[in-house]
Amino acid sequence: MSFTSLQYFLFLALTAILCYRLTPRRRNPLLLVLSLGFYAAFGPQHLPFLIASVGLSYAAGRLIETAPDKNRRIRLAAALVLNLGLLFFFKYFNFFAELVMSMFAPQRVSAGDRVLNLILPVGISFFVFQTTGYLMDVYRGKIKAERNFIDYALFACYFPGIVSGPIQRAGTMLPQYKKPSVWDFEHIKAGFLQFLWGAFKKLVIADRIAVLVNTAYAAPAEHAGLPLLFAAVCYSVQIYCDFSAYSDMAIGSSRMLGIELMRNFDRPYAAVSMQDFWRRWHISLSTWFRDYLYFPLGGSRCTKARNYLNIIIVFLVSGLWHGAALTFIVWGLLHGVFQVIGKLTQPYRDGLRRSLHIAEAGRLSLLIKRSCTFALVTLAWVFFRADSLSAAIGILSGIFAAPWTLGSLTALGLSVPALFVLLLSVLTLFTADWANDRYKLSDKLCAAVTPRFVVYLVLFAAILLFGNYGAGFDPMDFVYFKF
Amino acid sequence: MKREARKELCAIVLLAALLLGFAAFGSALLIPKRQNYGSTWGRYLKEPENSVDVLFFGSSISYCDVVPPVIWEEAGITSYVMAGPEQTLPITYYYLRETLKTQSPKVIFVEVTGAFFKQYQDFTKVNIGYMPWGRNRLEATFTAAEKQERTGLLFPLYNYHSRWDALTREDFSVTLKGYTADPLAGYTFLNTATEMTGLSPRNEVFDAENYEKNIANLGKIAALCQEEGIQPVFYIAPTYWRLSDEHLAMLESDIKGMTNVRFIDFNADDGLSDYDPAQDFFDLLHFNCYGAEKFSSRLAQLLTTQLGLSRTENANRAGWDARAEDFHALCTGQPGAD
């Protein structure tokens, strides 16, 4: 059930009506059943894996909490092995098995063959990380193990975030499930606005830009030079719009139900460094890695060399988390390497800036930093988007090797008016992001009836007219669904 | 608080109304404008009320073969073709009901090879999507359209919103000013000639259940005609693409079992002998304008001699004469060859 389908609107409306009428004791079982139903709509065969992860982490949380001190670590380790083992087995077993086979018995590996015919449960990376975070928090004593199974299961299965996050923390979610849903029209207004904004980003920008990106990536040789560079930049916009759209719709849906989810994006392309980028991109994942991997590895409270190694390890794992493919590993590695290089070159860059009399927080400095960060992020996205390492290298060499003539951008599958609308939509997006950050635009809109309804009208009209839906369109899933 | 709530409610109602208006205007603007090849409801509705004595229904065989201006010229009888591409008989039933809202024909013709069509052919979107809004369209949507077509039929922007970058001057003009009357009264002009070398079996796949449903719809059409005092004629057009003898006999027998219905197989008794196989056909199924003119003359003769129709009394004679001239003007060139 896609967030952009009519079924989902009806499902959400019905859920909201029911939620506000019930006490938590009755509401939570109902929300759980509806969440499981929502998840089962992606294929009932995925349900047992979700239930296994939920059951396992619930029991493990209780066992860790009640264990004597000397046994807590062992119980946590066992729980993590089992929980993360589920993720590893279904998501990575074939990848590593094929990698090993290609090294030791390449003649036995043929393209497209899988070692084991495994299904990949939808959202497994998200719910396993969420439950793993819970176990770590219980082990660290940050939260108490949840006794109410329904509430815990709801934390793990809550439908807005089950498929693609944001990855929630038990410490912020479980207390919300204990409170009754108090009808507050402010929640509905704010949630609906965020949901609609997400739908605009997905249907008007991400899916339209996807046409262009898919065309270029399918035949890079035909679009070499500037069109390929344009497509690479477009992919940076596409993935931001696609993923942040999902997050907006998830957060907006949940807000309408009176439950706040974690913010997942904060103008990532306004980042002034790679480190800053990761404070703004997929915040729920980057903070998860920070709290549950980077800090346990020693974080920055160690030698510089060890710190750099920690960064590389975290981003390698982050790359692997996104997908079982070498392209994702290289993407993660690139982000790690960029951060390390950034740290290594920081004194020299500062020195150069001072010698050129460029103010640190001045506009020029910000422009240069933002442009460089965006360029590096875009370079890494090429690996993220490409089907294979060789394809990614082909795209990069296509960008740099060919004569840099613009050629015809319309050869990328969009007409001139469509490109114009796309440009206008992207400008609207970045302006709105900036205005929201600077002037708290969404809060102001929620407080004023007329401007908010004008925004509703414009967004609805844009979606109806320019949205990627209906006959003749490929109903593309959200990019992050496959992770 | 109450004032706030009232303000919000008013804004919601206003937003809904504006969106509805936007969707309605957007749909009207973005739907491709249909001037020929059947389902031309916009043009049909420009005919003066109760001015047409004969209506023709069916698939492309009807709108490519029947030239109402020729019937007028030959017999002084007004007629109109309201067929649709690959139109299934359940949809034809709703076409008949809808046409009867503005016209009161004395005779209707239904081309019935559609009895052997699949439950859904390829043009449901066109056949139903251009019908005027109302009960007939809604019933057709829910009973004669594929499930996956329903969203687009109920909400045309779903099907056509992506045309925004292909809008033409005609789209704006027709949306704002409306369609103009069809000078060919529903006929679609074809002038290419393909030489026919022999009969070809249609090799229709027979689906008994679906055939029964189609016959039931013919029954509904016959019943409606009886209610309205209309003479229904179910016919097989002259074509080189033939139903099997077995199926044809079955169809004939089923139709002859219906009361008040006339069945005519224009292929019977060497029905193709009146036509020039080198010059009169567009393809195995359709006439070009030369064949259509001959066939329409024959229909005119049939209407006056066998169906007892006389000249239409309240016809706009000048208008129909102009239509006949228009048709002949179109036909003056020599037919091309494929």
Q: Which residues of chain A neighbour B158 with C-beta distances below 8 Å?
A: 469-471
Tell me, what amino acid is at A394? G
Asked if the C-beta of A471 comes within 8 angstroms of chain B's C-beta atoms, the answer is yes
What phi and psi values does residue A143 have, to the nearest 5 degrees? -135, 160
Nearest CA in chain A to B167: A417
Q: Which residues of chain A neighbour B151 with C-beta distances below 8 Å?
A: 6, 470
Interface test with B, best of A185, A196, A450, A453 (most B CBs within 10 A): A453
Asked if the C-beta of B11 comes within 8 angstroms of chain A's C-beta atoms, the answer is yes
pLDDT for A117-133, tens place per residue?
778 888 888 999 999 99
Nearest CA in chain A to B30: A465
Q: How far is A419 from chain B (nearest CA, A)?
A: 10
Helix, strand, coil abundance in chain A, percent, nearest 5: 75, 0, 25
Nearest CA in chain A to B21: A461
Q: How confident is the model at residue A67 (pLDDT cuts 50, 70, 90)?
A: confident
What torsion do the CA atoms of B317, B322, B323, B326 make, to the nearest 10 degrees?
170
Are B26 and A465 within 8 A, CB to CB? yes
Are A457 and B8 within 8 A, CB to CB? no
Q: Is B207 exposed, middle or buried (0-12, 13-18, 19+ CB in 10 A)?
A: middle
Among A16-30, A48-62, A294-308, the range scoring the smallest mean pLDDT is A16-30
Are B158 and A450 within 8 A, CB to CB? no
Are A464 and B7 within 8 A, CB to CB? no
Output the pLDDT for position B338: 35
pLDDT for A346-368, tens place per residue?
999 989 988 988 888 888 989 99
Interface test with A, best of B9, B14, B125, B161 (most A CBs within 10 A): B161
Using CB atoms, which residue from B11, B152, B157 is nearest to A464?
B157
Task: Tally the residues of chain A.
Answer: 483
Are B165 and A453 within 8 A, CB to CB? no
Q: How far is A468 from chain B (nearest CA, A)?
A: 8
Nearest CA in chain A to B155: A470
**A197 has pLDDT over 80:** yes
- Round to whole Å and give the CA distance between A46 and A124: 9
Using CB atoms, which residue from B11, B22, B162 is nearest to A461?
B22
- Round to whole Å and give the CA distance between B20 and A483: 38
- Round to whole Å and give the CA distance between A28 and A44: 21
Burial B247-275 (b: 16+ CB within 10 A, else e): bbebbbebbeebeebbbbbbbeeebbeeb
**A401 has pLDDT over 90:** no
Find the mean pLDDT for residues A324-344. Answer: 94
Asked if the C-beta of B15 comes within 8 angstroms of chain A's C-beta atoms, the answer is yes
**A183 has pLDDT over 90:** no
Output the pLDDT for position B336: 40
* DSSP string covering B100-162: TTT---SEEEEEGGGGGS-SS-TTHHHHHHTSPSSHHHHHHHHHHS-GGGHHHHHSTHHHHGG
Q: How confident is the model at residue A113 (pLDDT cuts 50, 70, 90)?
A: low
Coil, strand or helix at A308: helix
- Round to whole Å and give the CA distance between B255 and B123: 25
Asked if the C-beta of B23 comes within 8 angstroms of chain A's C-beta atoms, the answer is yes
Mark which residues 24-53 of B lie under 8 Å from A by CB.
Answer: 26
Mark which residues 133-192 of B lie under 8 Å from A by CB.
Answer: 151-152, 157-162, 164-165
Burial A16-25 (b: 16+ CB within 10 A, else e): bebbbeeebe
Q: Which residues of chain B neighbour A196 with C-beta distances below 8 Å?
A: none
User: Of A187, A282, A322, A335, which is the active-site residue?
Assistant: A322
The reply to whether A46 belongs to the active site is no
Nearest CA in chain B to A471: B159
Is the CB of residue B19 less than 8 Å from the CB of residue A461? yes
Using CB atoms, which residue from B157, B160, B165 is nearest to A415?
B165
Output the pLDDT for position B171: 94
Average pLDDT, chain A: 89
Q: How confident is the model at residue A242 (pLDDT cuts 50, 70, 90)?
A: very high
Nearest CA in chain A to B29: A465
What percentage of chain A reaches a pLDDT higher than 90?
62
Rg of the Cα atoms in chain B? 22
* B111 beta partners: B235
Say what the pTM is.
Answer: 0.86
What phi and psi values does residue A184 have, to the nearest 5 degrees? -140, 115
Q: Which residues of chain B neighbour A452 with C-beta distances below 8 Å?
A: 11
Nearest CA in chain A to B12: A453
Using CB atoms, which residue from B14, B151, B164 is nearest to A465?
B164
For residue B174, which of B23, B32, B302 has the smallest C-alpha distance? B32
Task: Tally the residues of chain B.
Answer: 338
Give me the residues of chain B with pLDDT under 50, please: 334-338
CA distances from A117 to A80, A114, A120, A183, B290 (A): 24, 6, 10, 47, 64
Mark which residues 108-137 of B lie under 8 Å from A by CB.
Answer: 125
* DSSP string covering A207-224: HHHHHHHHHHHH-GGGGT
What end-to-end distance do the CA atoms of chain A give, in Å?
17
Q: How far is B173 from chain A (nearest CA, A)?
A: 20
Neighbours of A367 (CB within 10 A): 11
Q: Which residues of chain B neighbour A466 with C-beta distances below 8 Å?
A: 161, 164
Q: For residue B81, what is the enclosing H or E element?
A: strand B79-81
Q: Which residues of chain A neighbour B18 with C-beta distances below 8 Å?
A: 457
Using CB atoms, which residue from A450, A466, A470 is nearest to B152?
A470
